[in-house]
Amino acid sequence: MPDSEKLSARAPLIIISGPSGSGKSTLIRRVLSRQNRPLRLSVSATTREKRTGERPGIDYYFLTNSEFEQEVQAGGFLEYARVHDNCYGTLQREVEPYLEKGTGVILDIDVQGAEQVRRKYPANVSIFVKAGTIESYEQRLRARGTETENAIVRRVANARQELALASEYDYQVVNDDLNGALAEIEAIIDLAFKGTSNAG
């Protein structure tokens, strides 16, 4: 494992977590579309089935259970966890080479993965995105029209557990107003870059 402080000094490693329905994926897409600094989103690996419209290597690396386990055994993951009956993980090669070259990396990961990454990269910047109320998550999940009733109940229960860990993050952003939340995250990222050798 490369020295975490050295890597973090070259470019920021930005962890963004939040329950399903918090809007973090939308915020990340907006940040990347507007960002004028060297910044990328790490593509996660998963064992879940590919959904309609998803592109392998762009939205996710879709691995079989066997392939995922091989990466685990080879030390290929920066972090990994089982979430909603599937495995998800961040591949080392999606992060370290970019940090070394001075490109900031955003990790869109859950609270389990974030805890693992914080141990390995103490100089990370972590952001927890949340809605104003627990009812907001359920409303947003239902509005998607992609979740079964059981899945909604399970995700809302998971949201309660994740919210209990929000205080472990450097920043908490309430996404009740998309533009306001976006501005807040952009300011945090700008500050993260100013603290590295990429400061402009």
Q: One digit per residue, pLDDT tens: the chain, 200 residues? A: 444 444 445 899 999 999 888 899 999 999 999 878 899 999 999 999 998 999 999 999 999 999 999 999 999 999 998 877 899 999 999 999 999 999 999 999 989 899 999 998 888 999 999 987 778 777 877 887 777 888 888 878 888 889 999 999 999 999 999 999 999 999 999 999 987 654 44
Residue 136 dihedral angles phi and psi, to the nearest 5°: -65, -35
Provide the token pair at 89.
């993980």
Q: Which CATH homologous superfamily contains domain 43-94?
A: Guanylate Kinase phosphate binding domain (3.30.63.10)
pLDDT per residue as tens digits for the range 163-192: 999 999 999 999 999 999 999 999 999 999
The C-alpha angle 197, 33, 104, rounded to 5 degrees, equals 25
Question: What DSSP state is assigned to residue 196?
Answer: S
What pLDDT does residue 197 have? 54
Domain 9-39+104-189, what fold?
Rossmann fold (3.40.50)
Question: What pLDDT score was predicted for residue 199?
Answer: 46
Check residue 129 and give left, alpha or beta (phi > 0: left; psi -120 to 50: alpha): beta
pLDDT at 170: 97
**CB 199, CB 38: distance < 8 Å:** no
Which burial class, exposed, middle or buried, applies to 9 when counting CB atoms under 10 A from its CB (0-12, 13-18, 19+)?
Answer: middle
Please give the C-alpha separations between residue 69 and each of 63, 77, 120, in angstroms, as whole numbers.
9, 10, 21
Q: DSSP label at 167? A: G
How high is the pLDDT of residue 33?
95
Any idea what the Cα angle at residue 131 is, between residues 103 and 23, rounded to 5°?
Answer: 45
Where, residue-wise, is CATH 3.30.63.10 in the chain? 43-94
**What does the block give as tokens for 61?**
């690396």
Tell me what pLDDT residue 1 has: 41
CATH 3.40.50.300 positions along the chain are 9-39+104-189
**Prediction pTM value:** 0.84
Rounded to the nearest 10 degrees, the angle between the axes of helix 178-194 and helix 24-34 is 60
Q: Are the CB atoms for 120 and 4 separated by under 8 Å?
A: yes
